[in-house]
Amino acid sequence: MGRHAKTVISSDGFDRRRTGYYSTPKPIANYLFENMTSLLPQGKKVLDPCVGKEELIEAFVKKGFDTNSFDIHRYKSEYLSNFREIDFLRFYLDHKTAVEDLNLDYDFYIANPPYNCHEDDYIKSHKLALEKNFQSIGTLNMYSMFLYSILDLAKEGAIIGLITMDSFLTSFYHFRLRKYILENFSIHHLLLCPTDLFADQDADVRTCILILQKGIQYQKKVILNNRDANQKIFFEKIGQNSFKEADVNEIILQDPKDHFEIVVDVPEEIRSLFKYKRLGELFPASQEFPQATILSTYPKIDRKHSTFLSIKIRETENSIRILTVS
């Protein structure tokens, strides 16, 4: 989230920065509905645990699904879904304490988890319970705790559709959350969203659309999109359903040194470099090198020519320089 004013008041008087609520654009809601239901056409029961004004579940309601929703705030006087004004994280912790089998009977989970809201106050107030129950994901912030809670509650085969922050894809601090997803879920859709997606709500944020299914046996090709320059281009792609496909292994950096980062639309030539030793291994800080020694040779990233990129070092009186010579 980009830095803006500490309070952002919406047209209905709510401070978005306090509540963490940002309205989801209709094309996103429609995309999630259509693709989630196509993956599980027999599904009937839906939960949005941070429903806001019901933007994400409106299509489910209109199609006659058993639609349920939670939110810590009441944003409307009347709801189309079966609404409960409760704290979803509190619900999760209470449910986890009370029963051994966490899996709830929902076929679909859909959510735009809160972010950049009163995290510090909330975490301080519930620190012991949060540390105990979310230690498996490593870092405590609102969107990752919401994400993990949804995933943990989902039954086998359930479909989870989200628009959420994308930092968990590559951040070291989300390594354990990533690992949990990769070990327990099939990834069906991963679309990086343009940064202006929520610009009309004064939010400069990097988000992604993620559709998962609990159980790795459901894995097929992953539908992907790299970040577009603006929402106009992105919405045109959504309308035309013109996205790429790839094997799931093509989006995961497999070496444990890379902490299973999830990357989108990275060429094979680039990904293959991660199989080699890292500069930190080749050039340890304490090691002395002879003058102009060729330490290693890597394929040059060039589709048209089979040339090579040699990495050389040169020692001078006061320093060691690393030179690249093609």
Taking only the tens of pLDDT, the chain with its 326 residues reads: 333 344 444 445 444 455 456 789 999 999 999 999 999 999 999 999 999 999 999 999 999 999 999 999 898 999 999 999 999 999 998 888 776 667 789 999 999 998 765 566 777 888 888 888 888 887 788 899 999 999 999 999 999 999 999 999 999 999 999 999 999 999 999 999 999 998 777 767 899 999 999 999 999 999 999 999 999 999 999 999 999 999 999 999 988 889 999 999 988 888 888 888 887 777 765 555 454 444 444 444 444 444 444 444 454 554 444 444 44
Closest by CA position to 225, among listed 31, 87, 79 = 31
Q: Which residues are bridge partners to 15 per DSSP? A: 9
Residue 125 lies in a domain: yes
Are 244 and 287 contained in the same domain? Answer: no
3-state DSSP assignment of residue 137:
helix
Tell me the pairing of strands 159-165 and 207-214: antiparallel
Give the model's pLDDT for residue 125.
84
Residues 92 and 135 placed together within one structural domain of the fold: yes
**Helices 88-98 and 142-153, interaxial angle, to 10°?**
40
Phi first, then psi: what are they for 217, rounded to 5°?
Answer: -70, -10
How many other C-beta atoms lie within 10 A of the C-beta of residue 114?
27
Number of structural domains the chain divides into? 2
Tell me if 1 is assigned to some domain. no
Residue 26 gets the label, from left (phi > 0), alpha (psi -120 to 50) or beta, of: alpha
The CATH code of the domain that includes 201 is 3.40.50.150
Q: Which residues contact 157 (CB under 8 A, 6 or more apart)?
A: 40, 107, 213, 214, 215, 218
Same domain, 59 and 198: yes
Choose one of 246, 269, 292: the last residue of a domain. 269
Q: What is the pLDDT of residue 273?
A: 86
Q: Does residue 39 form part of some domain? A: yes
Residues 102 and 205 in one domain: yes
Query: pTM for the whole thing?
Result: 0.81
110: three-class secondary structure by DSSP: strand
Q: Domain boundary at 221, 244, 269, which? A: 269
Q: What is the pLDDT, as a whole number, of residue 268?
A: 86
Instruction: Show the domain range for 50.
Output: 16-269
- State the pLDDT at residue 13: 46
pLDDT of residue 118: 53
